[in-house]
Structure 1
């Protein structure tokens, strides 16, 4: 599949660039901190929870169906479900710097999708055939909110394929194995995830 080959090539290039940037950033932060390691924050940031919901259960299920359509599995390649694209997207919302804009985009994008489905007498995107799913997403893509929504979903699907599993995607390093990528060291622990890091006085 041409799209898959393109994504594989793009992913490999992105992963290499990201690894270089991450290493440079780590060295820079350590240098700015007088050579001291960066410590983990005491408390985690916000996350999607029953007390602080972002989308309904129905919306999350439909969002997973969109991801599956955008990045379907193949015999020799993982799909969105295999790389835990949805759990990874939810984990991104734990970053307080990314959460406000992403939350608004997800809510607006899913609401516009709901309106498009209702206009065609459909209720669930997940219940449509592949051709109808493609048609609905093409309609959504023609609108500004739809383009930004789908672009961001693809962005985080690709990240889920490339990320260290500590961030909630790429379970058992399935994306790395597909790309033939060997991760660098040292890798972060759960307490060393970037959004939990703070300066050491």
Structure 2
């Protein structure tokens, strides 16, 4: 258990995750035990590299990319690795800690890989459908707060000032009043 958490947290592809994220990543990798959450928090607190990172960003980049490719995205519910290669990446912890997937690996698995690659297109289409549904939910949530207003020619309006850089709290954020003189298109004046 300790080996699994340490390898996921600070191993060759470790991302120095927080306690909850570390427990989640371990569960997604196929490991579980009753005290996984508590053990993850204790392991993170004991890690020297978590609180003080002295690595150069070049050295840190491979682990960041590994994390980005192997964590499921919210819109697709798939990892990027899975969408590209048709199967999940074998985490280094699964090689060190024997797992069914590593034990069942056949040296000559060209036929099973070809079958997985044939099915990857369907997986991508399903991910695209889930991503579009997610985009619709986000847009609906955002648009709940938008109030549509139509203006008439001759109405007076205020225009928000596009401020860049340091803006003092007493500076104007609006300019105007401006008079609507013509309607260019729907809601464009």
Q: TM-score, with normalisation over the residues of structure 1?
A: 0.24
Larger radius of gyration: 2
Higher RCO, Cα 8 Å, sep 6+: 1
TM, length-normalised to structure 2? 0.25
